[in-house]
Every structure is written in structure tokens, then in C-alpha cells.
A and B are shown apart, each in its own frame.
Chain A
């Protein structure tokens, strides 16, 4: 790390900081006097909760890819399309850009998030300084910012199911994957939120206090 002297953190000064309003209180104060949020120096069991939500996110992502995202019935024939099927369908419509957006939101971002969160959580267990804290923090911030956008495909199915209802001629219905995909996105968001970023900066300074 580039810092010469150890940083003076709230914890080293015997204080506990509020993550909402940034005010500090003597260690052990249960509730912030400014915003009334409950105070913890570091979120308890942060990594366990990260992993629990992470596993839930990965497990629900599997059926999201196996089952159909939406079912189109056209004059009695029913065709079901998965997430990947929907992307290929867009490519056949010569909508390469939109196909890329959906592929990014439904495949790249979820998989990237699983890898990124696992990488951060594992890096926190490794000896101090193996991965610079700034890098971990930047990746965590990116995951938190971008994770919500995976929900796009669920909304696509919702609006299509509402709009395309021409009785027997053509109608679109949501498939099972819509539910498991929505759950997967939600669980992964909770996994990223469970990580207390202060642990990242603690980990980079272990053993030099």
C-alpha cells in the first residue's frame, strides 16, 4: 500500500462511525444520534451473508437459463424461448445492438457479478496487500451500480405479456425462468450490499496496525 503511516480510522480511535450520515460516536453506542441508524463498527457476519446470498443467486440462476423466459403461442402453436433463445431471436430480427444489450444484461452482468463478488470475498481472506484495496473497492462499487440493470429481461417479458394478447392469434406468457431470474438478480444485489466496504480497507492493512 502507498500509505506511509497507518490511517486513523474511527475504529482505531475507539469510535464507531455511522455509514449513513458519517458522524462518529464512542465505541459501543448502539444508535446514531443524528440519523438514528443502528451502529456497528463493521457489519457483523458480513462475509457469511455475502456468501449466503451469493449461493442463493447462483442456484436460482441455473433454472433461469434452463426454463423458458417466455412462451409465445401463435395460432395454437406454442414456442418457448430461454434467455439465450431471446437473444438469438433478436439477432434474427437484425437488431444486433439490442441483442447485445440483452446479452450483456442477462448473461454477462450476472456471471460477471458472481465472479466479481467471489473474487472480492476471497481476496479479503488472503494476506494483506495481495490485491490493492482501491481495486477491490472499485469493483465492488461497479457491481453495486450495475447489478440492478440485469432486471431488464424480466421487464421485457412483463411488458410483452401485457401487450401481446391477441386472443387465439398470438399471445405471450411469462415462463418459469422469469421468476428464478428475478430472484437471482435480487439475491445477487443483496450479496453485494452485504459486503461492508470498510472490511476491504481493513484487510489491506492487516498486521501493520
Chain B
């Protein structure tokens, strides 16, 4: 170990185990994995910004479709009911369960949509080759921190389980919103898979 203090600008540290590495990792253009704990520190991909932006815009449009159309229709002995995503959110609003209703609305609609808006705000100027818009860094950090709380894909698995539960009670048909929501869940996962958080930070750093 050197006794002189190293130049911080030339170094990066693994976020999982604090091990120091040379910042050359950023510019090498290759996937860099921490030699101590195995965490992927950088995973740059060519043209990823445009892909991320395209996926985010598509997911946001489909989210709007999912909110505007019927989600599931159920028919049982001549009776028919229809439920939208909004209905699923509002289902807890009765019986003094309004806080849960709000929480579900956040988890399956509001937070995923907010994350998409933030990501579009951050990546649109970058994809156009412009300088980042004001407060882009705050926006991107919020997008990252909200990631575990955006649960659209878990909601879709819940829907699948629910359909099995009522399968012998009624016939279920899917509305346009069902397919839109399924696509949203897939696009969200694809978007997170191609986003390298730290490569984006590198693009957003102050000049």
C-alpha cells in the first residue's frame, strides 16, 4: 500500500465491498467485474441509451393503454363482470382498506410509470447527443432507488394465480389491457436488463 493518498479521480470503488479499482475500467468499454466479490461494476453496451429510451417510451404508451381498457372479463351463469387495472387498485378502497389501495396503486401503476418518465427525461437528451437536462442526476437516482418497489411483473403473476382460483367458477376472457400490461411487465424487465447504471452515471457526470 502506498503512503501517499491516491488521486480519487483516477479510482472507482466496488459498491458492494468497497475494493478500489482504477477508473480505466470505465473507458475500457468492457464488462468489469469486482475481483473480490464478483459484483458487475460496469457493463457497457453499444447504443444502449437508444434501446433504453425506446423500451421506456413503448412501456409508457402501453401503460396508458392498460389503464384505459378493460383488463379481465368474467362470465358466470349468465352474469358478466369486468375489471380494469384501476378496479383492482380500488378494490381495497372499501372496508376501510384505503391505505392498501393506495399502496397497490403505487406498486403496480404509479411507481412503474414514474420510473419510466424519469428514465425518458434522463435518456432523451443523451440519445439526441445533447447535454443532460437540469436535475437529470436526481431524476436518475430516484429511478434507481424506486426499482424494487415497481411491481408490475409480480402483479401479472398474481393475475395468473387469480385466474386459476376462479377457473371452475366462471369463464375469464382477457381484455386489451391484459395484453398491454403483460407487455409492460416484459418491457420493464428488458429495459432494466440493458441499463448499466454506472455507464449512465458516467455519461451524466458534470463536465
Question: Are A21 and B198 interface neighbours, CB within 8 A?
Answer: yes
On whether A156 and B161 interact (CB within 8 A), knowing A7-B19, A15-B6, A149-B154, the answer reads: yes
Q: Is B141 an interface residue (CB 8 A)?
A: yes
- List the A side residues contacting B1 at CB < 8 Å: 8, 12-13
Binds A, one of B45-53, B57-65, B101-109: B101-109
Nearest CB in chain B: distance from A83 CB, A: 13
Question: Are B159 and A159 interface neighbours, CB within 8 A?
Answer: yes
The total of interchain contacts (Cβ-Cβ below 8 angstroms) comes to 226
Checking B36, B94, B97, B148 against A179 with a beta-carbon cut-off of 8 angstroms, the contacting residue is B97
Question: Are B164 and A90 interface neighbours, CB within 8 A?
Answer: yes
Nearest CB in chain A: distance from B154 CB, A: 5
Q: Is A134 an interface residue (CB 8 A)?
A: yes
Residue of A nearest to B19 (CB): A7
Nearest CB in chain A: distance from B61 CB, A: 23
Q: Is B138 an interface residue (CB 8 A)?
A: yes
Q: Is A75 an interface residue (CB 8 A)?
A: no
Question: Are A34 and B205 interface neighbours, CB within 8 A?
Answer: yes
Q: How far is the CA of A13 from the CA of B14 in the complex (A)?
A: 14
Question: Are B8 and A15 interface neighbours, CB within 8 A?
Answer: yes
Question: Are A166 and B79 interface neighbours, CB within 8 A?
Answer: yes
Question: Are A148 and B81 interface neighbours, CB within 8 A?
Answer: no
| Interface size in chain A (residues, C-beta < 8 A) | 71
| Interface size in chain B (residues, C-beta < 8 A) | 71
- List the A side residues contacting B95 at CB < 8 Å: 173-174
Question: Are A156 and B158 interface neighbours, CB within 8 A?
Answer: yes
- List the B side residues contacting A160 at CB < 8 Å: 162, 165-166
By a beta-carbon cutoff of 8 Å, the part of chain A in contact with chain B is 3, 7-15, 17-26, 33-37, 41, 86, 89-90, 93, 95, 98, 101-102, 133-134, 137, 144, 147-149, 151-156, 158-166, 169-170, 173-174, 178-179, 182, 186, 189, 193, 197-198, 200-202
- Between A and B, 17 residue pairs with Cβ closer than 8 Å are A7-B17, A9-B18, A10-B11, A13-B20, A15-B20, A17-B15, A20-B141, A26-B8, A93-B165, A137-B16, A158-B89, A163-B83, A169-B77, A169-B79, A178-B100, A186-B103, A197-B16
By a beta-carbon cutoff of 8 Å, the part of chain B in contact with chain A is 1, 5-6, 8, 11-20, 36-38, 41, 72, 74, 76-77, 79, 81, 83-84, 87-92, 94-95, 97, 99-100, 103-104, 107-108, 137-138, 140-141, 144, 148-149, 151, 154-155, 157-162, 164-170, 197-198, 201-202, 204-206
